[in-house]
C-alpha cells in the first residue's frame, strides 16, 4: 500500500490537505508510481495533457520554449507539487516541458481516473481546484511582474517563490542549492543572467543574501518581501 510504504510525508502535500488516511490511501493506491532519474522528461511542451502528475520526491524544472527558440524556466517544482494540472483539467496541451533535475519519485493518474477520484472524494476535488486557482494566480502575477515591476522587485519575488517551493531552512536563513541555478532565477524573473549576478552581488554586500559555491542563502526574507512588494527596506 503506497501510503504505508514510503509516502507518508505526502500528507503535507496540498493535494492531500485535510484528507483522511483512508481517502489518501485510496487516491495514492490508484496512482502509477515511477522512480525517475535526472534528465527524465515527465511531459513535453505541446504534449496532450492526459495525466495529473505529483512529485513525491525530487525536483523538476518546468521550461517553456518560445517561437524564436529561447528556453525559459517557469518554475522549479519540489516534493508535494502537482504539475500540469491546469492543462489536464482544461484539456489543452501541456504549456511547458517538465524535466527531472533531482532523482525522485512521481505519482501520476490518467485524466479519466483522476476525475473519477474527484467525483468520489469531494475534498480531493476541492484541493485540486485550490491548486489550479493558485497556479492561475501565479501565472497572472508573473505577467504583471514582467510587464510592470522593477527588476529588483521581480528578482525578489522569484527568489521568494523558489524559497517557498524548494527552499531549505538552515541556521542562517533559507537555502537554495544546486541544481537550482542563476539561469533558473533569471528565467523566473524575466531578466538576464548578468542582471541576476549584478543584483545578487549588491544584495550580498547589503546583507540580504549570501552567495556560495553552488548555493544561495536568503538571509533576510522579510526585507526581500518588502522589495518584492515595492516598499522600501
pLDDT tens column, 24-81:
999 999 999 999 999 999 999 999 999 999 999 999 999 999 999 999 999 999 999 9
Query: What pLDDT band is residue 233 in, cutting at 50, 70 and 90?
Result: low
For the cut 50, the answer to whether the pLDDT of residue 5 exceeds it is no
Higher pLDDT, 61 or 10: 61
pLDDT (mean) for 143-156: 83
Cα–Cα distance, 41 to 35 (Å, whole number)? 12
Domain final position from 145, 165, 195 = 145
Phi/psi of residue 98, nearest 5 degrees: -110, 115
What's the confidence (pLDDT) of residue 14?
95
User: What pLDDT is stored for residue 8 in this prediction?
Assistant: 59
Is residue 189 in some structural domain?
A: yes
Examine the domain organization and report whether 125 and 201 are in the same domain: no
pLDDT of residue 226: 94
The string of pLDDT tens digits covering residues 130-146 is 999 998 888 787 777 77
Q: What is the 3-state secondary structure (H, E, C) of 121-156?
A: CHHHHHHHHHHHHHHHHHHHHHHHHHHHCCHHHHHH
pLDDT-derived band at 185 (thresholds 50, 70, 90) equals: very high
**Does residue 43 form part of some domain?**
yes
Average pLDDT over residues 5-27: 83
Q: What percent of the chain has pLDDT over 90?
A: 82
Average model confidence (pLDDT) across the chain: 91
Model-level pTM?
0.90
For the chain, the first-to-last Cα distance in angstroms comes to 50
Task: Note the pLDDT of residue 215.
Answer: 93
Domain limit, last residue, from 128, 145, 162:
145
Taken in order 78, 164, 28, 116, the sign of the CA dihedral is negative
Query: Is residue 183, in this structure, part of any structural domain at all?
Result: yes
| Residue 4 grid cell | 504505508
Query: Of 150, 144, 227, nearest to 191 (Cα)?
Result: 150
The closest alpha carbon to 127, from 85, 79, 75, 96, belongs to 85
Judged against a pLDDT cut of 50, whether residue 211 lies above it is answered with yes
What is the CATH number for 140?
2.60.120.10
Residue 66 lies in a domain: yes
pLDDT tens digits along 92-141: 999 999 999 999 999 999 999 999 999 999 999 999 999 999 988 887 87
Check whether 1 has a pLDDT greater than 50: no
Kindly state the percentage of the chain with pLDDT values over 70.
Answer: 94
The answer on 132 and 59 residing in a single domain is yes
Contact 83, 55 (CB under 8 A): yes
Do 54 and 78 share a domain, yes or no?
yes
pLDDT of 3 reads 46
Band of pLDDT at residue 149, cut at 50, 70 and 90:
confident
The closest alpha carbon to 38, from 83, 103, 98, 97, belongs to 103
- We report the CATH number of the domain holding residue 177 as 1.10.10.10
- Name the domain boundary from 145, 174, 199: 145
**Number of structural domains the chain divides into:** 2
Looking at the fold, whether 140 and 160 belong to one and the same domain comes out as no
Amino acid at each position: 500500500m503506497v501510503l504505508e510504504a514510503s509516502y507518508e510525508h505526502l500528507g503535507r502535500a496540498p493535494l492531500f490537505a485535510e484528507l483522511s488516511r483512508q481517502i489518501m490511501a485510496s487516491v495514492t493506491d490508484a496512482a502509477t508510481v515511477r522512480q525517475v532519474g535526472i534528465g527524465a522528461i515527465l511531459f513535453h511542451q505541446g504534449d496532450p495533457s492526459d495525466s495529473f502528475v505529483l512529485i513525491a520526491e525530487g525536483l523538476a524544472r518546468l521550461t517553456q520554449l518560445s517561437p524564436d527558440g529561447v528556453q525559459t524556466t517557469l518554475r522549479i517544482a519540489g516534493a508535494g507539487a502537482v504539475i500540469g494540472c491546469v492543462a489536464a483539467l482544461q484539456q489543452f496541451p501541456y504549456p511547458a516541458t517538465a524535466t527531472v533535475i533531482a532523482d525522485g519519485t512521481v505519482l501520476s493518474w490518467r485524466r479519466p481516473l483522476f476525475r473519477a477520484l474527484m467525483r468520489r472524494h469531494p475534498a480531493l476535488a476541492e484541493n485540486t481546484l485550490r491548486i489550479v486557482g493558485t497556479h492561475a494566480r501565479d501565472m497572472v502575477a508573473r505577467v504583471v511582474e514582467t510587464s510592470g515591476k522593477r527588476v529588483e522587485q521581480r528578482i525578489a519575488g522569484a527568489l521568494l517563490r523558489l524559497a517557498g517551493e524548494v527552499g531549505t531552512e538552515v541556521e542562517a536563513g533559507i537555502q537554495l542549492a544546486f541544481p537550482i541555478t542563476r539561469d533558473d532565477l533569471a528565467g523566473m524573473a524575466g531578466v538576464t543572467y548578468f542582471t541576476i549576478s549584478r543584483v545578487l552581488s549588491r544584495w550580498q554586500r547589503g546583507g540580504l543574501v549570501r552567495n556560495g559555491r553552488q548555493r544561495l542563502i536568503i538571509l533576510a526574507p522579510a526585507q526581500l518581501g518588502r522589495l518584492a512588494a515595492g516598499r522600501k527596506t
